[in-house]
Chain A
């Protein structure tokens, strides 16, 4: 029981980190509010499903096309919607939230509801650790989370594009004087974040079914992890994922699975009350409260 809780808590933590990664890159690191994140996640899941089952492409090709289509959607959303209200944080939130709502409900309208909407596991089978069985898909989740976190850390600290991503959030004008095209960088960041959402979708969705409600939960979980960890901090994401992940697993085991989502929501509320920039965040502390 204890070992099971430990292992599944770790899986849950990695899952949260994976889900939050793309949101963190766009919203946390580049400061572009992408509240259509859940919709993009669902979009890539359904795209992969359509390519696989309606067109019948090989699975690897489906995954690649889902990821690139999501990235394209992200860039498109930036150019059509966000660019026009850039700088007005709340208009960004409301416009992208409305757009996400429209995308998700469109899937519901076209009747993408039911148990047949599942993606296949990358590798079938499971392995035993002690007396706890864990399937290869969950191990893939762990590996993908670790690999992507490392990649994002190196990318945002040691490459020109990655540094530009952070620069436009810290001070857009100064970034402009250094020759960083803020529109291009922000669009790229949207594309990157959406691609990461698609990666998360392909890795995580085989564990359950693709459901429209999942999109809202993904957005909330990503928001919870980013706010608790601190916007823009990759280390913060890891710590917050572990905190929320274990808290959720413990709640699900010792109380009821119903309470799981409540953990993220309460975490958001508490952290925003006490330290709005999060545990590891130190961006814009002056602007957050008065």
Chain B
């Protein structure tokens, strides 16, 4: 007698999410807890932690933003293998504004976010019509091209980079800024993808021709999403630059491409929360593994392989399934 696993939504899920008739604190808590608990945990954890862990938290937030940016592009069907393009452009725009004209971070951050996103969007516009693997290969190549370009032309300080940029006023300010932006990006994009606009975007990634048949200009939608994703990535770059007080070639390095992808894959794509979860697992883990030196990249690589091959849905989807549904064995008829 063969058996298979049957998954059924929990009653509380149906009442509180689909019917949306909240009748008890338990149901409200069911909706609220998974959203509020991590946020509360973050806000409480920050002031209590040691400076060392605060540093780690800031780099976690930067990688989480890059992972969200990757996830935004994935939601419209564009799979980027070069997030470091966004990081690098954001960091160079902020760095150059600060280094040559002395603008404070209050100005460089928004200018780098919008301006950098515009630069990246224009740079990727010619290849936006490419599908699947062809788009990925262009994005794999672009940051490497920028890297060699900076090395060969020696613009923006060449291999030395731009040093001595102004830092943020204090570690706590920096941390709360990173935290606030991460939460805004996370919940903002989640809400956007639940709206009608998000429905079109997801439709494009599922079947672009069907969306074209509905009379919608998919290229315009793709451009908008590319701009949004690039803006998040460029903000991460600008933030990281002021955090390190340095803008240079490492901004285009492989680290900033492979780590966000690994985070999004480990956490699970399509929900943004998965990407953040992945970053919060991988970045502290890599700090713990820092003693291993070059072996860290080996671990990222292996993580990527194990999750792509073994758990393609990602951790977040697994946890969410357990939260929303119960499973039981039934006989196959």
Binding site for B on A (CB under 8 A): 33, 81, 84-85, 89-91, 93-95, 97-103, 105-106, 108-109, 220, 223, 227, 256, 258-259, 261-262, 265-266, 268-269, 272-273, 276, 287-290
Of residues 84 through 130 on chain B, the ones whose CB sits less than 8 Å from some CB of chain A are 126-127, 129-130
Q: Flag if B312 contacts A91 (CB, 8 Å).
A: yes
- A90-B136, A265-B148 in contact; A289/B141 too (CB < 8 A)? no
Q: Flag if B309 contacts A85 (CB, 8 Å).
A: yes
Q: Flag if B302 contacts A102 (CB, 8 Å).
A: yes
Cα A95 to Cα B81 in complex, Å, equals: 12
Q: Flag if A272 contacts B133 (CB, 8 Å).
A: no
Chain B contact patch, size range: 35 or more
Q: Flag if B137 contacts A95 (CB, 8 Å).
A: no
Q: Flag if B137 contacts A102 (CB, 8 Å).
A: no
Q: Flag if B304 contacts A269 (CB, 8 Å).
A: no
- Give the contact stretch, choosing among B34-42, B162-170, B277-285, B289-297: B289-297
Main secondary structure of the interface of A (DSSP, over half): helix
Q: Which of A93, A266, A276 is within 8 Å of B130, CB to CB?
A: A276
The answer to whether B183 has its CB under 8 Å from any CB of chain A is no
Which residues of B sit under 8 angstroms from A105, Cβ to Cβ?
294-295, 297-298, 301
Q: Which residue of B lies closest to A217 (CB)?
A: B144
Q: Flag if A109 contacts B293 (CB, 8 Å).
A: yes
A-B contact pairs, 7 of them (CB 8 A): A97-B304, A101-B258, A102-B298, A269-B138, A272-B127, A272-B138, A273-B126
Q: Flag if B131 contacts A289 (CB, 8 Å).
A: yes
Q: Which of A103, A227, A261, A287 is within 8 Å of B137, CB to CB?
A: A227
Q: Flag if B298 contacts A259 (CB, 8 Å).
A: no
Q: Flag if B309 contacts A268 (CB, 8 Å).
A: no
Cα A89 to Cα B133 in complex, Å, equals: 7
Q: Flag if B308 contacts A94 (CB, 8 Å).
A: yes
Cα A258 to Cα B158 in complex, Å, equals: 12
Q: Which of B134, B148, B209 is within 8 Å of A262, CB to CB?
A: B148
Q: Flag if A109 contacts B294 (CB, 8 Å).
A: yes
Of residues 266 through 318 on chain B, the ones whose CB sits less than 8 Å from some CB of chain A are 292-295, 297-305, 308-309, 312
Q: Which residue of B lies closest to A287 (CB)?
A: B131
